[in-house]
Amino acid sequence: MSGHILILFVSVLVAVSAVLSALGFKGRVEVIGVDLGTTYSVAAVSEKGRVRVFEDPVRGKLTASTVAFLQDGGVLVGNAAKRHALKDPKNVIYDAKRFIGRKYDDPTVAEQAKKYAFAVVENTTTHDAAFRVHGRTIAPAEVGAEVVKALLKTVNEDLGHENVKRAVIAVPASFGAAQTAATGEAFKAAGLRVARVMPEPVAAAVAYGLHKKENVHHILVFDFGGGTLDVSILYVQKGSIEVVANGGDNDLGGTDFDGCIADDLTKQVNAVASSTDCDDFVTTEPCEPHVLQQLAEEMKVQVSSVDTVQRKCAARTKKGCEELELTLTKQRFEKTCAHLFQRALKTVDDTLTNGMLTKKDVDEVVLVGGTSRVPHMRELLRKSIGVSKLNLEIDPDVTVAVGAASILD
């Protein structure tokens, strides 16, 4: 009799599991991997040995690390916040990762603050760098917390439960204790406990399984994101990975290429326009600096896959208010921004030198960050290092999150 009961119980359990699976139940995942990036943020999960990146129905896999603080106390996160910046740039914060965990009197804070429309101020209690929005002082960790909350909301909706309470997080190899702690505070404020902290380059190498690959000793991780360039040299031994050299350029990222293109677009506008005071067109934005910056970002992405990109903005010329057609070719992009490409290559050379290594010591190269997908940058790097191929099969925007989630296996 007991045998029949056991068989019946197992049959019922299998049937229930099948029903739950059909309903989309994915199990009680409690830990996720998160990359809280300078420009974009990503969350991923490991399910039965396979890593999956969470995808929001609206934002997609990437959530812009941009937060708009509204007058009524509400917030907008992601692309909605970026759109809000067009009409209220002083109360929309982005690139908060550049300031997190830094004291206000840090020389880099004053230098970075010059780049933004929002106000960078001192938290009079902690003396840390902070932001002023609608008369309130907002810490960089609070900005990060809003981004993590948005990611967690997508995670909960995807999994069908709210059991996720911990996260494996990745931070730049250059982060000190204060910056890492402040990043942890952002997750805590969003309702997640930090289960483990990984250096971002290590997470990237783990994503490709290079720590398990034979005859691999030195890995160069080229992390070219929206706000910074980080170059790390990893040493692999018996499955463990150690960061042996780290370099970077905190003032070089995708936004700098956007700025380079925006400067070129500005020259095109100034060549024929006397003023950007032009609101005759309903659907065409005026050629204001913030509009050109946004157009530059869009054109940079598109010119990676086509030879010529064109956009329009409105300005006042001798003929009156007109729609101007702005053009960017692949060749013009590579020539105009050549100095930025060379700065990136010099950072690689300097990092190898500081680690007392040569390019011949590099066994594998891993690409991370959205700017690393620029074809010209990839080819320049490949030729400079002298490798036959680069590790680029994983979307460079999600590689770090994939690695953070992979460690959960």
Q: What's 302's domain CATH number?
A: 3.90.640.10
Q: What is the predicted pLDDT for the residue at 409?
A: 64
Kindly state whether residues 185 and 317 are assigned to the same domain.
no
Last residue of a domain, one of 336, 354, 384: 336
Range of the domain at 189: 27-96+142-208+394-409
Q: Sign of torsion, CA 94 146 366 171?
A: positive
Q: Are residues 361 and 331 in the same domain?
A: no
Token couple for 385: 């290092």
What SS3 class is residue 323? strand
**Same domain? 91 vs 150:** yes
Element (H, E) at 150: helix 140-159
- State the pLDDT at residue 156: 96
On whether both 82 and 230 belong to a single domain, the answer is no
Catalytic, out of 200, 230, 285, 322: 200
- Sort strands 31-36 and 166-171 into parallel, antiparallel or unpaired: parallel
CATH of residue 365 = 3.30.420.40
Residues 76 and 178 in one domain: yes
Within this chain, do residues 301 and 181 fall inside the same structural domain, yes or no?
A: no
Known catalytic residue: 200?
Answer: yes
Model confidence pLDDT, tens digit, residues 363-407: 999 999 989 999 999 999 999 999 999 999 999 999 999 999 998
Tell me, yes or no, whether 332 and 361 share the same domain: no
157 CB neighbour count, 10 Å cutoff: 13
Q: Is residue 11 part of a domain?
A: no
Residues 223 and 361 in one domain: yes
Structure tokens at 110: 């004053």
From the list 97, 185, 249, 397, the catalytic residue is 97
pLDDT value at residue 275: 86
Q: Nearest 5 degrees, angle CA 158-CA 163-CA 169?
A: 80
* Residue 174 lies inside a defined structural domain of this protein: yes
Position 161 scores a pLDDT of: 94
Non-local CB neighbours of 284 within 8 Å, separated by 6+ positions:
312, 313, 314, 323
**Which of 116, 148, 133, 137 minimizes the C-alpha distance to 37?**
148
Task: Provide the 10 A C-beta neighbour count for residue 325.
Answer: 10
Regions of the chain where pLDDT drops below 70? 1-28, 280, 282, 409
Q: Are residues 259 and 231 in the same domain?
A: no
Q: Tokens 């190899």 belong to which residue?
A: 173
Q: Is there a catalytic annotation at residue 393?
A: no
The DSSP-derived string for 274-313 is SB------SSS-B--HHHHHHHHHHHHHHTTTSSEEEEEE
State the pLDDT at residue 28.
64
**Residue 17 falls inside a structural domain:** no
Q: What is the pLDDT of residues 355-368, one digit of tens each?
A: 999 999 999 999 99
In a domain, 286, yes or no: yes
- Reported as half-sphere exposure (CB side, CA atoms, 13 A), residue 194 has a value of 19
Helix, strand, or coil (residue 137): strand
Q: Which long-range contacts (CB under 8 A, 24 or more apart) does 246-251 make?
A: 246/173, 246/174, 246/201, 246/351, 247/347, 247/348, 247/350, 247/351, 247/354, 248/172, 248/174, 248/347, 248/351, 249/343, 249/344, 249/347, 250/98, 250/108, 250/112, 251/111, 251/112
- My answer on whether 386 and 261 are in the same domain is no
Question: Is 97 among the residues known to form the active site?
Answer: yes
Domain-embedded: residue 330: yes
Q: What is the rounded CA–CA span in Å between residue 92 and residue 73?
A: 13
Catalytic, 35? Answer yes
Condensed to tens digits (0 to 9), the pLDDT of residues 308-357 reads: 999 999 999 988 888 999 999 999 999 999 999 999 999 999 999 999 99
136 in Cβ contact with 90 (< 8 Å): no
122 inside domain: no
Res 178: pLDDT: 97
Residue 123 lies in a domain: no
Q: Is 18 domain-assigned?
A: no
Question: Does the pTM of the predicted model rise above 0.85?
Answer: no
Please write the tens of the pLDDT for every residue from 42-54.
999 999 889 999 9
Question: Number of folded domains in the chain?
Answer: 3
Other CB atoms within 10 A of residue 371 CB = 29
Alpha-carbon distances, residue 239 vs 37, 85, 199, 202, 215 (angstroms)? 27, 46, 16, 12, 11
**In terms of domains, do 64 and 193 share one?**
yes
Q: Do 168 and 287 fall within a single domain?
A: no
Tell me the torsion sign for CA atoms 193, 199, 204, 206.
negative
pLDDT at residue number 59: 87
